[in-house]
A and B are shown apart, each in its own frame.
Chain A
Amino acid sequence: MSMTGFERAAEGRIRIHVLPTKRFKTFAVSLYAGASLQEETVTPIALTPFVLRRGSAAYPETILFRERLEELYGAGFGFDVYKRDGSQIVQFRMDTINDAFVGKEEQLLGNSLAFLGETLTRPALESGVFKSKFVDAERDNVRKKLDAIINNKARYAGARCVEEMFAGESYRLNALGKREALEHLDASSLHESYRKWLSEAVLDLYVVGDTTLAEVQGLVHKHFDIAGPGHSPYEYARSAKSEGVGNPHIVKETMDVSQGKLNIGFKTSIDYADDRYASALVYNGVLGGYPHSKLFQNVREKASLAYYASSQYEPHKAFGTIQSGIEIGNYERALEIIRVQLDAMKAGEITEIELSQTQAMLGNDLREIRDSAFQMIHHDFGGRLSGRERSVSELLEQVESMTAQQVAEAAQNFRLDTIYFLTGKEGE
């Protein structure tokens, strides 16, 4: 057994991770397919799961496909496409109730894995390629999703800030692809790209629930039509990280908004695999992860400038962000208050209470992982992704023994990179 409690095996190219437990009323299933994040392939890979969820060989029309999910007691089925470090990951999720609660033997786990295997490996085809009806509709759907980013101003500002930070790298790309590249994809070219993707992607299948590794392995063998040797051509690799130069790039953009969105980006060399990872978690917690944090207390509670003011740390690409929604005219004032907090962090001006509150909150976040099947999967997969496996208890120990000095050292490693402000048309 691994440090995180998952039992592991492989079935062809699919790495299998199973956590047998009776704690939940469902079987939680996640399949991660990872590929290199690249300008040329980002769009077809993003479009692929949208087409796959329209139908499989066994359920070739979308209505049949969805009716099947209803027959499996409304099994939850969904997917996400996102980027982590240098990879573009497609994650399929299924959440199916345990037969015990419907009073009859329905083999819901077996039927769910059969459904997922079909969906991923035996799609609905016409003349040997994807159905053009599905491809055309989903291309339109993804284009609408890309356009819809402007609807949520906080999310838009966050994405724009990250795009500016990584302007010269593939990480600038939206994981859902590029609008202009969509037009060039048709049923035939997308199907070709899908086959290449499926033959190269690194595949991890997780199951949490009342089952065994042997049962899952047997089901994968039966239902996933993936040929090939024991290794995928693609493998997650950790990229080199640097803390950047600390000479901030300032971007202002105007839109018809009543509230301004201030987003600030930092680069760091501390990533998930780094020995100092826990110090970056605590740094982010003291700065802006919680209501007791410096940003919330000073920008919101003391100065009454904002409803939200927080920070985030992305450990796989290794960067930090700060975000706040403010009155447009308060830009300089908010920035000044934030600068004072950042300087205090670097100077180690962290009170004992700020440190202990952050440790207690992070401890709570970490212990909670065990209460959710999908959170346990997510935590374990973080280790697979970065090549550094850490148990929850190991991280807990590191967080609990953290000193203000170590947090200050982490703060010095986060260098200001980009200041992005989404402001109103009439200006200040």
Chain B
Amino acid sequence: MERIVYKHLQETLYYEKLDNGLSVYVLPKEGFQKTYATFSTRYGSVDNRFRVTGQDEHRVPDGIAHFLEHKVFEEPEGDVFLKFSTQGASSNAFTSFDQTTYLFSATEKIEENLETLVNFVQNPYFTDENVEKEKGIIGQEIQMYQDNPDWRVYYGLIEALYSVHPVHIDIAGTIESISEITKETLYACYHTFYHPSNMLLFVVGGVDPEKVIAQVKANQAAKNYGPQAEIERFFDPEPEQVSQERKELNLPVSLPKCLFGFKEAAPKVDGPELVKLDLTTELMLDLLLGSSTPLYQKLYDEALITDGFGGDFRATPEYAFSVIGGDTRDPELLMDRIREESERLSQSGFEAKAFERARKKKIGGYLRMLNSPESIAHEFTRYKFRGGDLFAVLEIYENMTLEEVNARLREHVRWDRRSVSVVKGA
């Protein structure tokens, strides 16, 4: 067991990589009643073409990672939610582009709940009947998102930006695509991506780290996982240009919703470099259009934006894009204004004082996040799967320079690599 002390954060992290490849992290939080545990696989909606080295290649239906997440909860003796309820734990799961996470939160019976979490995820039970039944439930989930204008405008943007990379496919798939899912395709995905060497367990709360690691070690040793070769994921080359400049849709909304973004070439880096790219770009967006900028105030005074307006950046080694916008009376005018200001700032650069304030704000936000065990577990895993370290973020902010942020503005905000998605009332 490794013990990593982050003195300035007053946190100590415990880590062990087990023989079967599973990474286990424990962060004790003194005085906390609750324990929060996440069990995650590096597998999400984009992983639709893959093989384990030396085995057959698979191409699987859209939405299968999310479908699998639903089905993993089913055990021969019934739904595992019920078992967690009996043990006083609330459990849940979510699927993103590149990650699926199962979790529980409990204040009692931590040992039993941890055992339940690890065991249910490692015990798939799919039948023709239970797969068919799930199609009705997920069908209603898809319908619910169809009526959600925020979701539709967001996906509209990604579809406009990307033509090949599967990031543009809805995480839940479509009613048609999930109709093709069978227990066989589910097992193929499961056996590839749910091998312990592709997974990470994170436990945070009022726990004894040595006991937790010993428990998981014993649990895994009894399951006799063999080694697994490398997982290869295949992505066809994505053109540098956006797929479509504009996408528009009609839904009942009170004001048009407008999201636009810039597409970058796949960064092809991971680890600290990718984390730095991410944090620098986020800080740049904050300096360009965050709530204390002159631009923000001007847009607000012109009634071109509302409280929800903002921008963020998504990057993995395979794709990188920004998402900017909110509700607006005039999408074109909004983008014109932002364009003028970004072109001006590309020339002049950001002010040093504004940069220092934005850096302080980011550091404060980061430290506040560390109050929440849930956020720590989610963010830590997300960083780790990209080869980064959540607890090194403070240092990255401290070493960031104004020149780097200015450079990101010029590299990222390229109006010939922009798409826009608009949802408005009929």
A binding-site residues for B, Cβ under 8 Å: 21, 23-26, 62-63, 66-67, 69-76, 95-97, 101-103, 133, 137, 140-141, 144-145, 147-154, 255-259, 290-292, 300-301, 304-308, 325-327, 353, 356-358, 360-361, 363-365, 367-368, 370-373
Are B89 and A364 interface neighbours, CB within 8 A?
Answer: yes
A150 touching B300, Cβ below 8 Å: no
| Distance from A93 Cβ to chain B, minimum over Cβ atoms (Å) | 12
- Residue B105 lies at the interface, judged by CB distance under 8 Å to chain A: yes
Residues of A within 8 A of B301 (CB): 133, 137
The answer to whether B364 touches A258 (Cβ under 8 A) is: no
Residue numbers in A under 8 Å from B148 (CB-CB): 152-153
B108:A66 contact, CB within 8 angstroms: no
Instruction: Name B361's contact: one of A70, A149, A154 (CB within 8 Å).
Output: A70
User: Closest residue of chain B to A374, judged by CB?
Assistant: B371
Q: Please determine whether A300 and B361 come into contact, CB atoms closer than 8 angstroms.
A: no
User: Judging by beta carbons under 8 Å apart, are A101 and B90 in contact?
Assistant: no
Number of A-B contacts (CB under 8 A): 178
Residues of B within 8 A of A360 (CB): 85-88, 108
Contact of B252 among A25, A67, A150, A353 (CB under 8 A): A150
Q: How far is the CA of A167 from the CA of B91 in the complex (A)?
A: 38
Q: Is the CB of A325 within 8 A of B108?
A: no
Contacts of A153 in B (CB 8 A): 147-148
Please give me the 3 A-B residue pairs with the lowest Cβ-Cβ distance, nearest first. Answer: A73-B364, A74-B361, A360-B88
Using CB atoms, name the residue of chain A closest to B150.
Answer: A151
Q: How far is the CB of A414 from chain B (nearest CB, A)?
A: 22
- Report the separation of the CA atoms of residues A292 and B360 in the bound assembly, to the nearest whole angstrom: 44
Interchain CB contact under 8 A, A361 and B90: yes
Is B76 interfacial (CB 8 A cutoff)? no
Residue contact A63 to B297, C-beta cutoff 8 Å: yes
Closest residue to B74 on the A side, CB-wise?
A: A301
A349 vs chain B, min Cβ distance (A): 18
Whole-angstrom CA separation of A21 from B30 in the bound complex: 12
Nearest Cβ on chain B to A400's Cβ, whole angstroms: 11
A406 to nearest B CB, angstroms? 20
Nearest CB to that of B354 among chain A residues? A67
Contact of A71 among B253, B357, B372 (CB under 8 A): B357
B146 to A259, Cβ gap below 8 A?
A: yes
A148–B255 CB distance below 8 A: yes
Tell which of B79, B81, B86, B144 touches A356, judged by Cβ atoms closer than 8 Å: B86
- Nearest CB in chain B: distance from A117 CB, A: 20
Q: How far in angstroms is the closest Cβ of chain A from B31?
A: 5
CB distance from B156 to the nearest CB of A (A): 15
B33–A368 CB distance below 8 A:
yes
Interface bracket on B: 35 or more
Residue B426 lies at the interface, judged by CB distance under 8 Å to chain A: yes
Measured CB to CB, the closest approach of chain B to A49, in angstroms, equals 12
- Chain A residues near B373 (CB-CB < 8 A): 371
B188 at interface by CB-CB < 8 Å: no
Judge whether B368 and A258 touch: CB under 8 Å.
no
Q: For A307, give its contact among B144, B251, B297, B358 (CB under 8 Å).
A: B144
- Please, what's the 1-or-0 string for B136-158, where 1 marks a CB less than 8 Å from any CB in chain A? 11101101101111100000000
Instruction: List residues of chain A with CB within 8 A of the CB of B426.
Output: 256
A154 CB, nearest partner CB in chain B, Å: 8
16 contacts between A and B (CB under 8 A): A23-B30, A75-B364, A101-B8, A141-B306, A145-B307, A150-B253, A150-B254, A255-B252, A291-B82, A291-B85, A307-B138, A325-B144, A357-B82, A364-B105, A365-B90, A368-B105
Q: Which residues of A contact B1 (CB under 8 A)?
A: none
A307 near B107 (CB under 8 angstroms)?
Answer: no
| Chain B residues with CB below 8 A from A301, complex form | 79
CB pair B294–A63 under 8 Å, yes or no, is yes
> Which of B91, B137, B254, B362 is within 8 Å of A304, CB to CB?
B137
Is B127 close to A, CB under 8 A? Answer: no
Mark out the residues of chain B between 350 and 376 whose CB falls within 8 Å of any chain A CB in the assembled complex: 357-358, 360-365, 367-368, 370-373
Q: How far is the CB of B108 from chain A (nearest CB, A)?
A: 7
Residues of A within 8 A of B327 (CB): 144, 148
**Chain B contacts for A364, CB-based, 8 A:** 88-90, 105-108
B69-96: contact bitstring with A at CB < 8 Å (1 yes, 0 no)?
0000000000101100111111100000
Beta-carbon contact of B137 and A300 below 8 Å: yes
- Mark interface residues in B284-328 (1 if CB within 8 Å of A CB, else 0): 000000011110010011010011000000000000000000010
B33 to chain A, nearest CB (A): 5
Cross-chain contact B292 with A63 (CB below 8 angstroms): yes
Report the Cα distance A152→B149, complex, angstroms. 8
Q: By the criterion CB–CB under 8 Å, are A259 and B143 in contact?
A: yes
- Residue B133 at the chain A interface, CB threshold 8 Å: yes
Contacts of B85 in A (CB 8 A): 290-292, 357-358, 360-361
Interface check B235, CB cutoff 8 A:
no
Whether A151 lies near B149 (C-beta < 8 A) is yes
B134 CB to nearest chain A CB (Å): 8
B359 to chain A, nearest CB (A): 9
What string of 1s and 0s marks CB contacts (under 8 Å) between B199-220 and chain A? 0000000000000000000000
Q: How far is A395 from B339 in the complex, measured between Cα atoms in Å?
A: 56
Minimum CB–CB distance from B423 to chain A (whole Å) comes to 9
B residues less than 8 Å from A74 (CB atoms): 360-365, 368
Q: Flag if A73 contacts B133 (CB, 8 Å).
A: no
Looking at A72, A133, A360, A370, the one whose CB has the most chain B CB atoms below 10 A away is A360
Distance A258 CA – B174 CA, assembled complex (angstroms): 14
